[in-house]
């Protein structure tokens, strides 16, 4: 127990809503602790993302205490106390699993994965059920002390991410802990302790058993954290990235030189910069860029093997790639629709004759599509570079200049700047059969 005067947490570091929840529980006679990222980040002088509370009140008792309360979760039952858009998460202290029997509160798969984890217990037991030592520090609202049962304070000081208990067992219980180890190591600029790091490569494949919806959520936390590029690199070092994105894994090379790998670097770096500038980021754009070369590679294969037009092969490939990706990370429908638009617009951007360029400019996904074109311009041939700079000028030109630009395109034929070997020979008119999309 670290008394109030020996640690750096004061109530002014804690959000008003989290304090309200802590006090209400305390006054009703329950234990109430701030725990997890909130305590950890305050001790590190960082701004906590959210506040998590632990208590010995059961979910039903919590519900009786707060009108603005919603119980959620099956695998792990929790109470959410809602204050407008702010949510304080309240969990009942977890205990160890009984050796046998009662499978309504806890359940484990044959592989040792926890399917349900609702056995309640003491604060010491709760600490041992948490993932990393630095995440298992409790700020006690009754006396303002910090409670540390697993050496979290020392690890925080030494900047070490250390799994509590036997690492392999803990990863088998919940393989997502491997992703969390990497996420915290990058975010907190800490090292993953040796025994915690060692089993990851061998166990990375266990992520395939995790529901795709959870992995989607987790992939956003990893890549849209503000340090997406560093996180991707470390995930890759541990063989974790390709578990989330198997299609991208197929493009991995020894020296990280494939177009797909270069695109990852470009788009993650751009995402990090936008986060740093408080600009909005769109997961659809991120995934559209990350999966662009898997998409075009597949499209070329389909066109080659089937004799379909490149356009038709491209559309089939888009469906295939998205179907396969959502099996690992369940990208929501509204985003897969956007991804498809951004991809399809890459084809439309090559066709600028008549009114086409003007129409495309009005499309809601024009901006994201153009941004992808610009990134492609850094990695592909001169024709894509020319196309990107044409659109750059066109967007910013006045009406008269725009019309002039289109006129020139009309005169020169506006041949699509597509893959070189698929481009029809110069001056020969294109086969109308290839343009089935309109
Ligand atoms: P942040 O919110 O900054 O991402 P956090 O540490 O608060 O980090 P949460 O996902 O909010 O992470 O979880 C809150 C706490 O719950 C963690 O600090 C940890 O103690 C515990 N926890 C979360 N996920 C797991 C898990 N998979 N296994 C064991 N404990 C976990
Ligand atoms: Mg948290």
**Ligand with the closest atom to the CA of 176:** 1
For position 103, what pLDDT does the model report?
A: 55
| Cβ contacts of 150-159, under 8 Å, gap ≥ 24 | 152/40, 153/2, 153/7, 153/43, 155/193, 156/40, 156/43, 156/44, 159/188, 159/189, 159/190, 159/191
In the three-class reduction of DSSP (H, G, I as helix; E, B as strand; rest coil), residue 149 is classed as: coil
User: What is the 8-class DSSP label of residue 193?
Assistant: P
**Tokens describing residue 229:** 């590029």
Which ranges of 238-290 would DSSP assign to H, the alpha helix? 241-244, 246-249, 259-276, 283-290
With a 6 A CB cut-off, is 135 part of the ligand 1 pocket? Answer: yes
pLDDT-above-70 percentage for the chain? 91
Q: Kindly report, residue by residue over 210-244, the tens digit of the pLDDT.
A: 999 999 999 999 999 999 999 999 999 999 999 99
Q: What percent of the chain has pLDDT over 90?
A: 82
Give, using CA atoms, the residue closest to atom 25 of ligand 1: 131
What digits encode the pLDDT tens for the residues 115-138? 667 788 899 999 999 999 999 999
Q: What is the pLDDT of residue 76?
A: 78
Does 93 sit in the ligand 1 pocket, CB within 6 Å? no
Please indicate whether residue 50, judged by its CB atom, sits closer than 6 Å to ligand 1: yes
Q: Residue 425 above 90 pLDDT?
A: no
Please give the distance, rounded to the nearest whole angstrom, from the Cα atom of residue 142 to the centre of ligand 2.
21
Please identify which residue in the block is written with the tokens 């699509």: 416
50 is catalytic: yes
Task: Please identify which residue in the block is written with the tokens 């389909």.
Answer: 302
Greatest Cα-to-Cα distance within the chain, rounded to the nearest angstrom:
84
361, 393 Cβ separation under 8 angstroms: no
Beta bridge partners of 87: 82
- Is 52 near ligand 1, meaning CB less than 6 Å away? yes
Q: Are strands 86-92 and 52-55 parallel, antiparallel or unpaired?
A: parallel
| Ligand 1 centre distance from Cα of residue 221 (Å) | 12
Q: How far is the CA of 135 from the centre of ligand 1 (A)?
A: 7
Task: Kindly state the helix (H) or strand (E) to which residue 33 belongs, with its residue range.
Answer: strand 32-35
Instruction: Return the higher-pLDDT residue of 353 and 190.
Output: 190
pLDDT tens, 341-374? 999 999 999 988 888 988 999 988 999 999 999 9
| Nearest Cα residue to 293 out of 312, 274, 267 | 267
- Residues 380-393: tens digit of each pLDDT: 989 999 999 999 99
> Nearest C-alpha to atom 6 of ligand 1 is from which residue?
37
* Closest residue by Cα to residue 243 from 314, 333, 171: 171
Mutate to test the pocket of ligand 1, among 15, 18, 36, 176 (most ligand atoms within 8 A of CB): 36
- CA-nearest residue for atom 13, ligand 1, is 36
Choice among 52, 174, 312, 341 that is catalytic: 52
Atom of ligand 1 nearest to the CA of 183: 4
pTM (2 decimals)? Answer: 0.89
Are 84 and 15 in contact, with CB atoms under 8 Å apart? Answer: no
Q: Does residue 164 line the site of ligand 1, with CB under 6 A?
A: no
Please identify which of the residues 41, 117, 126, 131 carries the catalytic annotation.
Answer: 131
Which ligand number lies closest to the CA of residue 177?
Answer: 1
Cβ neighbors of 233 (< 8 A, separation 6 or more) are: none
How far is ligand 2, taken at its centre, from the CA of residue 238, in Å?
24
């Amino acid at each position: 127990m670290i008394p109030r005067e020996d640690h750096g947490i004061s109530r002014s570091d804690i959000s008003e809503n989290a304090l309200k929840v802590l006090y209400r529980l305390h006054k009703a006679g329950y234990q109430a602790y701030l725990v997890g990222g909130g305590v950890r980040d305050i001790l590190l002088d960082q701004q906590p993302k959210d506040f998590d509370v632990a208590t010995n009140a059961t979910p039903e008792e919590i519900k009786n205490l707060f009108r603005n309360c919603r119980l959620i979760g099956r695998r792990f039952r929790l109470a959410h106390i809602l204050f407008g858009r702010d949510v304080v998460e309240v969990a009942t202290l977890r205990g160890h699993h009984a050796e046998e029997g009662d499978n309504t509160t806890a359940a484990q798969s044959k592989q040792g994965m926890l399917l349900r984890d609702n056995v309640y217990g003491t604060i010491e037991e709760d600490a041992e059920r948490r993932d990393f030592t630095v995440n298992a520090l409790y700020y006690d609202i009754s006396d303002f002390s910090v409670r540390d049962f697993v050496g979290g304070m020392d690890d925080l000081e030494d900047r070490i991410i250390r799994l509590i208990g036997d690492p392999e067992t803990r990863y088998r219980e919940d393989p997502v802990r491997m992703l969390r180890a990497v996420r915290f190591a990058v975010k907190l600029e800490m090292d993953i302790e040796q025994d915690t790091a060692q089993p990851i490569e061998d166990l990375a494949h266990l992520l395939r058993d995790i529901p795709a919806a959870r992995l989607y959520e987790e992939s956003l936390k990893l890549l849209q954290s503000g340090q997406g590029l560093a996180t991707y690199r470390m995930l890759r070092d541990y063989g974790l990235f390709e578990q989330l994105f198997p299609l991208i894994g197929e493009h991995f090379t020894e020296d990280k030189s494939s177009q797909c790998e270069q695109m990852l670097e470009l788009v993650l770096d751009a995402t990090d910069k936008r986060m740093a500038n408080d600009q909005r980021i769109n997961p659809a754009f991120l995934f559209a860029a990350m999966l662009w070369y898997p998409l075009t590679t597949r499209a070329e294969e389909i066109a080659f093997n089937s004799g379909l037009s490149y356009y038709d092969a491209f559309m089939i490939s888009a469906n295939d790639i998205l179907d396969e990706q959502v099996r690992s990370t369940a990208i929501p429908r509204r985003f897969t629709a956007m991804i498809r638009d951004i991809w399809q617009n890459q084809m439309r951007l090559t066709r600028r004759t008549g009114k086409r360029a003007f129409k495309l400019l009005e499309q809601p996904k024009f901006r994201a599509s153009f941004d992808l074109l610009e990134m492609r311009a850094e990695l592909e041939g001169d024709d894509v570079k020319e196309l990107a700079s044409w659109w750059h000028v066109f967007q910013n030109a006045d009406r008269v200049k725009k019309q002039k630009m289109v006129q020139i395109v009309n005169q020169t034929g506006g041949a699509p700047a597509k893959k070189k070997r698929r481009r029809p020979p110069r001056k020969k008119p294109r086969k109308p059969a290839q343009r089935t999309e309109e």
